[in-house]
Structure 1
């Protein structure tokens, strides 16, 4: 109990202000999970779950901290979503590993239909969730909170499926999420998202190259042909 109380109350002084220790630690776990995902390691999923649990308490600020702290319901809700989808991804990658694959997943491009579904899901999901989050009292601009929620859901699902494009969805999330977090006062998460933006672009090219390397080799030499007794062998 003493450790949990310390974890929930500890703060890191920075330039006359302070950051919640659990916000910093949660984002560090998130970064480690992203690194594991880029390397296609199964441990990326449980590490991410730990970070999600910590960040859930951060973004429900008025419940776990000061009553005046802004609640980002999309950010909080996506931590719950992350945990649920992470269980799916964890099982999927573990099964792939047990089937004898060199890595937990083999990167592949999403089909044209899947890409349309991802874009449509991001836009329509944002439109549908914005009034719901507004009614629940989420921080303005509410559409940005809904965008980060839907984008995170689709990116995590894409990662579980092994789609290379999931990294680009994260870029779209970061473009909107960084200004939102700065304006709401979640500076540690905002700076981490800013770093994620660069990291996700690197991850995209890493998975792209891994996908190209995973292509089966094609025999380019013609088989030997025997011609009578003087043929090649």
Structure 2
């Protein structure tokens, strides 16, 4: 057998569950990307893209004949979305690092953009739920919520909006039970770990943001 094909189909058996190693490895890349995002380093984006490519093949279970044999079109579609938005975020952070020395400076989204986030979350969930229902996705409404929230959170990270961590919490709250029910246990466990990590990341970005605000305020007082 081709070694690459053997690695692609490698399985781990835990109790009565069959888990693909590429699901574990893809989620490992996701954790590494999240850590890089918290630390505001550019390599977070390409690492995340590698994980997205692996997880796409996992969530298109019926197409790639995984043990679950389910197509989660929302989960798979968001991997494709992640790649496109990650390319945008990668270029944004590279450009920012070259101009200011920092890949990203955390800040709150402007009020108008914050309102748009809420509106897009609501309308996107309704619209994508209809799309996923028509194509036969497993759990179209949770899938639509997760897909829309993931899009907004990734875009918010690219823009340096501290709120993006809060959007991830809303995504995890729906994603964990859905993935457990569907039998994607490594991904469900990742969501649990990621939920705690997101709270930590939010605190880190908020602290950096406040420090930057205090620095700019002090500088404004001392500048002639």
TM range (shorter): over 0.9
Aligned-pair CA distance for 1:19: 1.0
1:176 equivalent to 2:154? Answer no
Q: What residue is the counterpart of 1:139 in the other structure? A: 138
1:112 equivalent to 2:111? Answer yes
Aligned-pair CA distance for 1:68: 6.2
Q: What residue is the counterpart of 2:26 in the other structure? A: 26
Larger Rg: 1
Q: How does 1:116-135 map to 2 (within 5 A)?
A: 116-135=115-134
2:40 alignment partner, SS class: coil
2:136 alignment partner, SS class: coil
Aligned-pair CA distance for 1:18: 2.1
In 1, distance between residues paired with 2:222 and 2:192? Answer: 52
Q: What residue is the counterpart of 1:58 in the other structure? A: 58
* 1:47-104 deviation line (CA, Å, top 9, x unaligned): 0000000000000001112486111000000000000000000000001111132x31
2:12 alignment partner, SS class: strand
Aligned-pair CA distance for 1:220: 9.2
Aligned-pair CA distance for 1:221: 8.1
Q: What residue is the counterpart of 1:74 in the other structure? A: 74
RMSD, aligned CA: 1.8
Aligned-pair CA distance for 1:7: 2.3
Q: What residue is the counterpart of 2:148 in the other structure? A: 150
Kept in 1: contact 2:68–2:182 (CA 8 A): no
1:218 alignment partner, SS class: helix
TM-score with structure 1 setting the length: 0.90
1:13 alignment partner, SS class: strand
Structure 1 unaligned runs (5+)?
A: 224-233
In 2, distance between residues paired with 1:222 and 1:81? Answer: 45
In 1, distance between residues paired with 2:69 and 2:46? Answer: 29
TM-score with structure 2 setting the length: 0.94
How many equivalent residue pairs?
A: 221
Kept in 1: contact 2:18–2:67 (CA 8 A): no
Structure 2 unaligned runs (5+)?
A: none
Greater percentage in helix: 2
1:187 equivalent to 2:175? Answer no
In 1, distance between residues paired with 2:63 and 2:221? Answer: 68
In 2, distance between residues paired with 1:50 and 1:220? Answer: 43
1:41 alignment partner, SS class: coil
